[in-house]
Structure 1
């Protein structure tokens, strides 16, 4: 009797192992691939999301064409304001998310180039007109005070992936047993009427007992975004683990433009 039960348990374990291996082999873990058709597009502030999605497609190895899931996840400018980086995201039926980036020139860059050309032409004309006569040299004046720190601060572009100082302080103040919630980005922008896949911004949840896989099913999100009204809104993320400990509140700043 015992020998038969042992044989039965061995067969059952082998069967369960086979099912597990089969699920691992056949499960879909590949994210969609996003392709961008080369087009001469100039980014203007307030540009509709549909314009930014023109010529952009997404394909998945299992679901084939998933272009209908494409969204503009975020838009952030370069330090000189002449280009912007567009982040696209698409997902398949198994919620595998694929992303890619695209850099576009801005209308401000074109206007700045035109302005420089115009100034160059005017300066040349003025130089020819004034060449026969020598204008008196201006009196020397003291150079303007150096406000380099202030200028750097005004021109600096905030890294959307960096944890803001106030939120990092909240994380550092947590007790060891409290979960720590992190986002992939802490600021993003969408066009008026656009959509936002909030869960794609979750990067990690660190806990002393529960796994990320488990806690990701307990995520709570609060927001008051009105996608039809331009403005800046906050999306708040937090989680409560199995011991009843609450994480920090991770805040995503969303600009509707």
Structure 2
């Protein structure tokens, strides 16, 4: 009698495991695909609105279909020379799977010192006037501080990334790197995860988030040039972290 009970319990356990496995396989764990039209305007001006930046961008999910309505512009930031900007697009499907992509645009004007605040079409001229006045005050302050030592590329990158973290909502994860700018010799191999310093969230633990790290971008260590890797995570509530950008210069 006991032997039959053991066999029955084993059969139930196997069946339950199979059902759980089937349910797991059925879960939607892949985010939508973000595509950017080849005809999209590739030049950036400081007066571009969010609508302008989203033009020609589309998000499609294998299960949910067209989810372009979820598309947002997370950030826009210039490179060190101010002649190019990187736009970070984010889209989410109905299962809260998040996808991020970066898109590079050439700048029609030098954007050194530019801080992204993407504008909607409802922004008015009063706001523009306030912005111009603030820029004028900033320029006057810069003139007074000419004797201060110039910031290094690493310090500039650190400051830029800290500003992005300050703009996050309270429920969003915070992604920190050990450094945001590094120079390496040609042929030097890199461990991409070794640059991760910390991930903080109001709910998920650091160890859980560490397993969810996503990294976009590539680095050719055999070809001199400047490369960017973007690190981010999405917590269990579907909240996306800041896109921590690591600039790697191969010399």
Q: Which one has a bigger Cα radius of gyration?
A: 1
